[in-house]
Every structure is written in C-alpha cells, then in structure tokens.
C-alpha cells in the first residue's frame, strides 16, 4: 500500500497522541505521600529490633524501610534449593550465640526460638608449615617470643594480658596504631604469634586505634564458652521480630530504598521510588558504608562529623558449600577418642581459605554443608571477590586445594588420607563491612561514639543504630541490639536491660 506524505504524517500524529495519552499518567505519577511518627531506615538486626520494641507503643506510627527484599542484613540464611520454601538454611553471616551474650539469649527466649548446643569439638591449626591441635605446639616456631611468666595460663592468654593489663596500657594512645602497640609490648615475634593463632586477621592488619581496640577486647575477651544455634538459623530472630512488629501495626516496606533524607520544618522528608515520607523522628539503622547512597542534608551533616569518620568497616568474605556427603565426619584428633575429638574448625596461614567451620548442630549437619571460607584478610577478600566474578570453578578449585592442604596427610589428624569431593553448590558472600572498629588516630573512644550516635545532630530527634556505633560489643549482633536498646531507653522511655 502506498501512502502519501500527508497520510503518513496523520498516522504518526494519531499514534503519537495515543502513546502520550497512555504514557502520561505513568510519567506524571508522583510518589505517594506517607506520614510516620518514627521513620527507621534499615531493616537489619538493629533497625528491626527498634521497630519491634516501638510497635506496642506507637503501632502504625512506626515505618521501617529496607532496600533489600528480605530483612536481616548480616543475619542472612540461605538454602541449597532457593526455590524450596521450607528448605533448611545455613547462615552466611551470623551463626551462633555464646552463653555470655545475655542480651541475645534473652531475645531468643522472648521470641520462643529453639536453640541447639552441640559439643565443642577439636580445632586444627596450620601455621609456618606445622599443623597441630593446640596453640602451644607453635610457640617454638616464633624465635624471640617473650617467655611466659605465668605457668597457670597459656601463651596466647599471657601475651594478651600484657597488652590489656600491662603498665603501658595507659599510654596506648601514644602509639600510631594497634599493630605498633602490640609490637612494642610483646615484640615482633609476639605480634606474629598472635596474628597467626587468631582466626580474625583484620584485627592485626587494619590500621586500628590502639585504645579503642583494647576497650573492645576487654568486652570480647570474656565471651564464653558454650555456643548455641537457633534451629533453622539466626534468621529466626528476624522472622520473630518482624511478625511481632507487624502484629503491633508497624508498617514495614521491603525492597524500598530510601535515597534522600532532608530536614523539613520541624520534621524530616524521606524520598524513595514510591513514597514521599514525612516523619517527626528518624532512626538511621544503616552502617557508614551505606551513607554514600543517601542524598540530602541529614546524612551529609552526619557524614561530615569526626566521630562518623573515625569508624572503619572490615570487609569480610564467607564461602558456603554443600557436598554430596560429609567427607569430614571421620576427621579427628587421635588423642581424643570421644566426640570432642571430631574436628569442627580449622584455620591456616598457608592459604586464603583462612578459616573453615563445620556445623555440628543437628539442623545444619544434616545438610552436608560447610562454611569453607571465613576471611577478613584484606588481600584475600579482594582475591575471592574478583575470582567469584570471573569463575566459580576457579573458586572451588582453590578451596579444594586449601582444604586438601589442611586435612590430607597433615601428620596429626586421622584419617591420613582425606579425599574431598566436588561440591554440589558454592555460595560466595562478600560483606563490605562485616565488623567495625575505630581507625588509627581516632579522636573518640568507643564510649564516646556510642554516646554521639544517640543524637548525632544536636537538638534533633535523629539517632544512629547498629553495631558500627556500639563498638564495645561481644559479637556484631550483640552490638546491634545494644545500640538499639540505648536509643530506645534514652529517647523513647523504655527500660530495657543490656544498655
């Protein structure tokens, strides 16, 4: 069919009018207005706990916004079969509760969570070409190590006692960083020994403030001894708090990233893709690493402050693997014939595998799953992240090599020959900030950071919640809950234990 120029022009005009008429409502659609008394940005453990506690008091006046489709943040459990709704899960972030973490244990009891407490089994350690079941077996490999002067304690504890209780503790602030302080007090050999015996390398490799780290260590040191695991994973905390918060009327918006926060009159305006939110009070339950994604004068004014800038996040990689069978079940310390001899953890300085954990609680053990890698060494984390983007097969090959080096013919554990199969599935999780400390040269103490976070903008009803702002914690979720508790007690009239 031949069309004249005028006909074509008429058809295009009609089609264009039709498109504009139907597209205009979509283009012109403005964000839906929303009014909240308290707006909580961030649905991790701290933010959700705050909403959960405020629900019975303020009900629907509380609004929580979470950018992800699931709540929980670093409490994140996954399953082998992502499509199976009731499939058993394993944590790629938080895993356990220790018996001295009373705030977390009390919350578990309140939510009615069932806990498992498996027998603490054997640790296998590999450093400087040696593999052994005890840290004392490595002392001779560190020439120049200070001679232990207390026969009633082990070398590691004695060295930490020199750091924590020695006469130079009061001068820790004069040292440029924690590494310098350790090397000055117990020497380079002492530093190397503590570094290699620890599962957490970042503590010795990041530029951390010495007084702040020692204050944190005082809190962390006495965390003991029996570990408990919620049946179904740590996400039981999240499901329980979400259910009760919603039942109390709290409005929870998942997959709703807040990208702008502004002061407006006596209150605040928050902007997301779907909503324009008016709120009288703000709780920012997001870590410092999330602030670059927030526009507006409120986050900008907070980010400019020295306490905020003193906080440093530790990047962490965890790699979880499911296996066709439990190839580890017979690996044991031959000196311990009972169930305490079974190896459940191993760590090494010889590869970026760093630290493997074999779940012993029944609900996880039946899954034939391991946390094959926990790594907070800066270079290794970057390595795993790049490798995972390039080839999962290469990730699996490197883990296989590292695990074989730890368990196969190591000269101490039985059986001598350990054959590690190919995993059924591998999941790599990179946490931009798995933990937080204060950076070297910080001008604020941990306690001052916690106090500042209660009201980072003087005279304004804005609070910060999260482990990043409560560094004297015994584990990150413990810090998140304690941070929430201090805000709830100070600004909302609650009288919760654990501040």
Whether residue 381 sits in one domain with residue 255: no
pLDDT, tens only, 290-332: 999 999 999 999 999 999 999 999 999 999 999 999 999 999 9
Residue 170 CB coordination number (10 Å): 9
**Can the peptide bond before residue 415 be classed as cis, meaning omega within 30 degrees of 0?**
yes
Note whether residue 75 is domain-resident. yes
Range list of H helices, 29-112: 45-58, 102-111
For 115-179, give the DSSP string.
Answer: EE-PPP-EEEEEETTEEESSGGGGGGGSTTPPPP--TTS-HHHHHHHHHHHSGGGGGGGGSSSHH
pLDDT surpassing 50 at residue 55: yes
pLDDT, tens only, 423-451: 999 999 999 999 999 999 999 999 999 99
pLDDT, tens only, 88-130: 999 999 999 999 999 999 999 999 999 999 998 999 999 999 9
pLDDT surpassing 90 at residue 165: yes
Whether residue 298 sits in one domain with residue 181: no
Whether residue 188 sits in one domain with residue 251: no
Return the closest-CA partner of residue 322 out of 381, 354, 366, 353: 366
Note whether residue 108 is domain-resident. no
Q: Distance of alpha carbon 482 from its chain centroid, rounded?
A: 15
Q: Please indicate, yes or no, whether the overall pTM of this predicted structure exceeds 0.85.
A: yes
Note whether residue 401 is domain-resident. yes
pLDDT, tens only, 138-147: 999 999 999 9
Whether residue 206 sits in one domain with residue 327: yes
Task: Give the pLDDT score at 3.
Answer: 39
Whether residue 213 sits in one domain with residue 253: no
Burial category of 491 from C-beta neighbours within 10 Å (exposed 0-12, middle 13-18, buried 19 and up) = middle
Whether residue 61 sits in one domain with residue 206: no
For 343-355, give the DSSP string.
Answer: EEEEEESSSTT-E
Note whether residue 341 is domain-resident. yes
CATH of the domain at 65: 3.50.50.60
Q: Is the dihedral angle over the CA atoms 96, 100, 104, 107 positive or is it negative?
A: positive
Give the pairing type, strands 227-230 and 115-116. Answer: antiparallel
Note whether residue 398 is domain-resident. yes
Note whether residue 485 is domain-resident. yes
Of 406, 432, 458, which residue sits at a domain end? Answer: 432
Residue 469 neighbours by CB under 8 Å, 6+ apart? 311, 449, 450, 452, 453, 483
Of 432, 456, 472, which residue sits at a domain end? Answer: 432
Contact 499, 482 (CB under 8 A): yes
State the average pLDDT over residues 393-398: 98
Note whether residue 70 is domain-resident. yes
pLDDT surpassing 60 at residue 227: yes
Which range of residues forms the domain containing residue 285?
Answer: 32-83+235-307+441-491
**Domain count of the chain?**
2
Give the confidence band of 85 by pLDDT, cuts at 50, 70, 90: confident
Whether residue 333 sits in one domain with residue 203: yes
Whether residue 219 sits in one domain with residue 132: yes
CATH of the domain at 356: 3.90.660
Whether residue 318 sits in one domain with residue 220: yes
Of 432, 456, 478, which residue sits at a domain end? Answer: 432
Task: Give the pLDDT score at 82.
Answer: 82
SS3 assignment, position 441: coil
Whether residue 248 sits in one domain with residue 327: no
Whether residue 352 sits in one domain with residue 270: no
Note whether residue 17 is domain-resident. no
- The DSSP symbol for 249 reads T
Whether residue 321 sits in one domain with residue 460: no
């Amino acid at each position: 069919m031949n069309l004249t120029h005028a006909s074509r022009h008429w058809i295009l005009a009609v089609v264009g009018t039709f498109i504009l008429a139907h597209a205009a409502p979509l283009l012109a659609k403005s964000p839906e207005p929303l009014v909240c008394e308290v707006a909580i940005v961030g649905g991790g453990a701290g933010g959700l706990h705050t909403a959960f506690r405020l629900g019975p008091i303020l009900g629907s006046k509380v609004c929580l916004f979470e950018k992800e489709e699931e709540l929980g943040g670093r409490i994140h459990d996954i399953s082998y079969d992502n499509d199976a709704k009731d499939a058993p899960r394993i944590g790629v972030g938080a895993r356990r509760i220790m018996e001295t973490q009373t705030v977390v244990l009390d919350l578990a009891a309140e939510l009615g969570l069932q806990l498992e407490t498996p027998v603490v089994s054997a640790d296998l350690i590999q450093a400087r070409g040696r593999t052994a079941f005890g840290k004392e077996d490595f002392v001779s490999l560190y020439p120049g190590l200070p001679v232990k002067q207390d026969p009633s304690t082990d070398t590691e504890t004695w060295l930490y006692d020199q750091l924590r209780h020695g006469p130079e503790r009061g001068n820790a602030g004069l040292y440029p960083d924690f590494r310098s302080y350790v090397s000055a007090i117990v020497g380079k050999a002492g530093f190397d020994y503590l570094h290699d015996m620890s599962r957490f390398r970042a503590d010795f490799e990041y530029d951390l403030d010495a007084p702040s780290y020692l204050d944190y260590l005082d809190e962390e040191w006495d965390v003991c001894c029996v570990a408990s695991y919620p049946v179904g994973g740590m996400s039981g905390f999240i499901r329980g708090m979400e259910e009760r918060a919603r039942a109390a009327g709290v409005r929870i918006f998942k997959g709703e990233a807040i990208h702008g926060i502004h002061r407006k009159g006596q209150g605040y305006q928050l902007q997301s893709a779907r909503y324009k939110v008016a709120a009288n009070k703000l709780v920012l339950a997001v870590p410092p690493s999330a602030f670059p994604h927030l526009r507006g004068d409120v986050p900008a004014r907070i980010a400019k402050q020295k306490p905020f800038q003193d906080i440093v996040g530790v990047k962490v990689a965890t790699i979880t693997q499911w296996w066709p069978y439990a190839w580890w079940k017979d690996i044991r310390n031959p000196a311990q014939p009972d169930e305490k001899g079974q190896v459940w953890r191993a760590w090494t300085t010889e590869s970026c595998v760093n630290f493997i954990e074999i779940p012993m609680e029944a609900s996880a053990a039946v899954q034939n799953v391991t946390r094959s890698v926990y790594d907070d060494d800066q270079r290794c984390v970057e390595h795993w992240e790049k490798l995972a983007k390039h080839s999962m097969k290469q990730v699996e090959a490197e883990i296989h090599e590292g695990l074989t080096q730890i368990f196969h013919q190591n000269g101490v554990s039985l059986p001598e020959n350990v054959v590690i199969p190919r995993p059924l599935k591998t999941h790599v999780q990179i946490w931009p900030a798995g933990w937080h400390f204060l950076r070297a040269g910080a001008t604020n103490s941990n306690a001052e950071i916690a106090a500042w976070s209660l009201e980072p903008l003087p005279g304004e009803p804005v609070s910060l919640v999260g482990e990043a702002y409560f560094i004297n914690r015994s584990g990150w979720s413990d810090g998140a809950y304690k941070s929430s508790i201090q805000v709830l007690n100070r600004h909302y009239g609650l009288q919760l234990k654990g501040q």
